[in-house]
Structure 1
Amino acid sequence: MSPRRVTALVSLFSLTSIFVACSSDTSEKTDPATGVCPAKLTIQTDWFPELEHGGTYQLIGPSGTADKNSVSYSGPVQQQYAVGGLQEVEILTKNFDKQNSSVLVDGQADMAYIGIADLIKDSAALPLIAIAKTLDQDPQMLMWDPTQYAIKTPTDIAASGASFVHFPGLSYIDFMIDKGYLMPEQSDPSYNGSDATWVSKGGSILQQGFATNEIYKYENDILWKDGAPADVSFFTVSELGFDNYPATITMLKSRATELDACLKLLVPKMQQAWVDFYNNPTPITDRMIEINEEYDGFWSLSAELNLAGLQLLEEKNIGANSPDGTYCSFDETKVQDLYDILQPIYASQGVEITDDVSSVYTNDYCQGSPGR
């Protein structure tokens, strides 16, 4: 072998060794974003599994595990949403023993569903911040039997004199009383989500619920009038003039600061999960039917209910994009308008709230989020 050929082979071997060494160094380097998120993320919802929570359940997909004892659904985060070292997601059903804000303060969840209106109400007392929306319009509604009450406008609600059964501590109740749409004596904060009171009273009350859920149930499933379902009428709270962001993804401000690097990666993925859910909801809504069956409680769903609810969600723009085209951010004007409604109400009640409504939400983590 000639000296020139030996030299060439040595040179080639040396270059190859350098290339392999460089490749090894590169493969051993960790992604600087790895580990910025907790391995497990716990999200407290505000009810049992239902289509209005679809994007959150999409993070896990239909292959998660339902636990009847903890009333939770958990599993590995789907690969397309896994960023920053996040491996597992746990979704908690409504805690009937405490408010979602208390769940956050007590460290039982990283995130919780809380409406902007309720964040405003608690803004001076609790350091909470909304980091992304789940729905654009509030499906919360007031319903009645149209054969018993001729309610055509919001002022007819007060004129009816009927009791309004609802959950306690809701901001839209304060709004309704302030507007004269509801008399204080009509307010009955004894609702627990069951249909028992409505059925026992033959629909002679007014009742809260989700337009995307209860309307179908009372008109098709629940035997409440003469042994059969019957038509109901309703106003959503938006139609009453209370334009709220419901069930926002909310965190303790200190926890959001701690997970700042994580949230910049994670929130766009969480919102992508919502877009993906809307594009193909059936795998999740079908799984929600099963999850509720496994929980073996009073709450149930059906394929027909889910289909009707999704149709109404679209009709009422409940799942619409934000003005900036993302399915994530909060409209500053909308939030300010809501604050302007609530501030004088709470001032008259002696309830201290923030002077700056922008302190209860942020759009910082919505950068790069998709739209529908």
Structure 2
Amino acid sequence: MTKKRTRAAVLLTAGTLAVGLAACTTPADDAADALGAVDQGDGTAAARYSTPLADVCPSTVSVQWNWWPQADHGWTYQLIGDAGVVDAEKYTYRGPLGSTGIDLEIRAGGPATGGQLPLAQMYSDDSITFGITTTEDSIGGSEEFPTVSVFTYAVKTPLVFFWGNEDWDFQNLTEVKQSGETVLAWEGAPYLDVLTSLDLLNPEQIDASYRGDPARFVLEEGSVLQQGLLTSEVYKYEHDIPAWGKPVEFVSIGDEYDAYTSQVSIRADQLEPLRPCLEKLVPLFQQAAVDYAHDPAPTNAVLLDVVDQLTGSGWELTPGIVEWASTIAVEEGIVANGTDGVFGSFDIDRVQEYIEIVAPLLSQRGQKVAPGLTADDFVTNEFLDPEITL
């Protein structure tokens, strides 16, 4: 089981992790040994990410995220460091992508784009190079908005069910099901259909009235299992929600739910035109993500500054939450090497098995799943550098 840890224990583990990572090397390390630990200050992105891209990539590569800037997005900000500029009206952060000769534009999503899915946005805005998608998005949009995912930052979802009842000690989703306790979740979330179809939850115990408000959790003194993110709510309920203000326990959904939630995708019709770019750019994505995991603090400072400049967004980050999120994601295996040992890779068999489970469910919801869809249609590891590992 994935259990709640105290923040002190997490940070102690993070220190141990940093020592271990410092002893590891990747292909980019050989050219950057003189830098020592990754320090995302002035000039470091330029020194760290230097593969020439101007002849093979668009002059500006854009990445459309699916939410406001947060630690999950840190690897993209790592590529710019503090050399970028915020456009508070467009909710973007733009700057030189290292010293590659091109620019990177990072676009906020979710409420910033009226809730549009990045895969749909890519088909309405040709200036978007990459969109962040989930496996459900890719399957459900495969006929209308076909995409190909070339890199994944996380190998499992940070989704959890958390609670505050000290008498509960759930070890896995099967125990949650057997308890019959109420599970408070977002209405229409596809993962709920998957969990019930796998007999990991009873439909009768799901209350789909959750809207992100902590009121019910507090009112019932934590005696409800509530949907949340390990990288967000598990920290916030202890530190940022005074009405609760104490630790919660959790069980990981990602341990038993095989969707990828941070797929870096392109339009399927752009695979061949972008191939020369992808061959050189995707390894930089891998390297930046590994570097961010190694030393997230400098880029977390950039994230905090960017969010501070997005006045009017209503979105907030704190030093505590970005530190927690970037640390716990690695500790709990949300951010990790793929099953082949390569950072950023997809397990093709896992994706194929997931298609067989979720495609019928999404079709029942009216989503347009391409007939005969296979994993090879929308995920690929061909552009990854197999030597880049965490």
TM-score strictly above 0.5? yes
Moved more, 70-79 or 288-297: 288-297
Structure 2 residue 161 is the aligned partner of structure 1 residue 142: yes
Structure 2 residue 69 is the aligned partner of structure 1 residue 49: yes
Contact 2:92 2:105 in 1 (8 A): no
Counterpart of 1:77, as a letter, is L
Moved more, 341-350 or 108-117: 341-350
Q: Distance in 1 between matches of 2:318 and 2:389?
A: 28
Q: Distance in 2 between matches of 1:183 and 1:129?
A: 33
User: Which residue is equivalent to 1:100?
Assistant: 118
Q: Distance in 2 between matches of 1:295 and 1:32?
A: 31
Contact 1:132 1:329 in 2 (8 A): yes
User: Which residue is equivalent to 1:247?
Assistant: 262
Counterpart of 1:313, as a letter, is A
Superposed, 1:1-372 pairs within 5 Å as 34-79=54-99, 82=100, 85-94=101-110, 95-107=113-125, 109-147=128-166, 151=170, 153-155=172-174, 157=176, 160=180, 162=182, 164-166=184-186, 169-180=188-199, 181-183=201-203, 186-188=206-208, 191=211, 206-225=225-244, 229-239=245-255, 241-296=256-311, 297-346=313-362, 352-355=369-372, 356-367=374-385, 370-372=388-390
Q: Distance in 1 between matches of 2:260 and 2:320?
A: 26
- Secondary structure of the residue aligned to 1:74 is strand
Contact 1:343 1:353 in 2 (8 A): no
Q: Distance in 2 between matches of 1:93 and 1:70?
A: 10
Counterpart of 1:73, as a letter, is Y
1:283-334 deviation digits (Å, cap 9, x = unpaired) = 1112212222222444333333333333322221122112333212212222
Q: Distance in 1 between matches of 2:300 and 2:265?
A: 24
Counterpart of 2:147, as a letter, is L
Q: For residues 201 and 38 of structure 1, do their structure 2 counterparts lie closer, same or farther at Cα, with a shift above 3 Å needed?
A: farther
1:249-298 deviation digits (Å, cap 9, x = unpaired) = 01111123321211111111121111221222111112212222222444
Q: Distance in 1 between matches of 2:258 and 2:331?
A: 16
Q: Distance in 1 between matches of 2:53 and 2:308?
A: 39
Q: For residues 178 and 323 of structure 1, do their structure 2 counterparts lie closer, same or farther at Cα, with a shift above 3 Å needed?
A: closer
Deviation at 1:230, TM superposition (A): 2.2
1:95-125 deviation digits (Å, cap 9, x = unpaired) = 3331222211212622111112331233233
Gapped regions of structure 2 (runs ≥ 5) = 1-50
Paired residue total: 332
Point out the structure with max Rg over C-alpha: 1
Contact 2:171 2:251 in 1 (8 A): no
Deviation at 1:156, TM superposition (A): 5.3
- Secondary structure of the residue aligned to 2:143 is coil
Contact 1:116 1:130 in 2 (8 A): no
Q: Distance in 1 between matches of 2:359 and 2:263?
A: 20
Moved more, 103-112 or 342-351: 342-351
Compute the TM-score of the two structures, normalised by the length of structure 1. Answer: 0.78
Deviation at 1:92, TM superposition (A): 2.5
Q: Distance in 1 between matches of 2:115 and 2:240?
A: 29
User: Which residue is equivalent to 1:13?
Assistant: none
Q: Distance in 2 between matches of 1:329 and 1:63?
A: 29
- Secondary structure of the residue aligned to 1:215 is helix
Deviation at 1:136, TM superposition (A): 1.8
Contact 1:263 1:365 in 2 (8 A): yes
User: Which residue is equivalent to 2:13?
Assistant: none
Q: Distance in 2 between matches of 1:130 and 1:165?
A: 28
- Percent same amino acid among aligned pairs? 25
Q: For residues 324 and 299 of structure 1, do their structure 2 counterparts lie closer, same or farther at Cα, with a shift above 3 Å needed?
A: same
Moved more, 351-360 or 102-111: 351-360
Gapped regions of structure 1 (runs ≥ 5) = 1-30
